[in-house]
Amino acid sequence: MSALNGPAVGAGMALALAADIVVMAHSAYLQLAFANIGLVPDAGATWLVAKSAGRAKALEMALLGEAMSAQEAKDAGLVARVVGDGALMDEAFGIACRLARGPTVAIGLIRKQVAAALNASLVETMALEAANQTRAGRTEDFREAVAAFRDKRAPEFRGR
Reduce the DSSP state of residue 5 to 3 states and report it: coil
Which of the following CATH numbers is that of domain 2-98: 3.30.1330.30, 3.90.226.10, 1.20.1630.10, 3.40.309.10?
A: 3.90.226.10
pLDDT at residue 53 in the model: 95
Contact (CB, 8 A) for 88 and 23: yes
Contact (CB, 8 A) for 33 and 10: yes
pLDDT at residue 133 in the model: 95
**Which residues, other chains included, contact 43 with Cβ-Cβ below 8 Å and sequence gap of 6+?**
10, 11, 14, 15
Query: In the predicted model, what is the mean pLDDT of residues 119-129?
Result: 94
pLDDT at residue 12 in the model: 95
Reduce the DSSP state of residue 83 to 3 states and report it: strand
Distance between CA 72 and CA 57 in Å, rounded? 11
Name the pTM for this structure. Answer: 0.86
Confidence band for 141, pLDDT divided at 50, 70 and 90: very high
Q: Hey, where are the domains in the chain? A: 2-98, 103-150
**Which residues, other chains included, contact 136 with Cβ-Cβ below 8 Å and sequence gap of 6+?**
103, 105, 106, 109, 142
Confidence band for 2, pLDDT divided at 50, 70 and 90: very high
pLDDT in tens, 10-53: 999 999 999 999 999 999 999 999 999 999 999 999 999 999 99
Residue type at 117? A
Query: In the predicted model, what is the mean pLDDT of residues 66-71?
Result: 97
**Which residues, other chains included, contact 80 with Cβ-Cβ below 8 Å and sequence gap of 6+?**
21, 22, 23, 74
Element (H, E) at 82: strand 81-83
pLDDT at residue 108 in the model: 95
Confidence band for 117, pLDDT divided at 50, 70 and 90: very high
Tell me which fold the domain 103-150 belongs to. Lyase 2-enoyl-coa Hydratase; Chain  A, domain 2 (1.10.12)
pLDDT at residue 71 in the model: 97
pLDDT at residue 156 in the model: 94
Q: What angle do CA 149, 100, 23 make, to 5 degrees?
A: 110
pLDDT at residue 11 in the model: 94
pLDDT at residue 36 in the model: 94
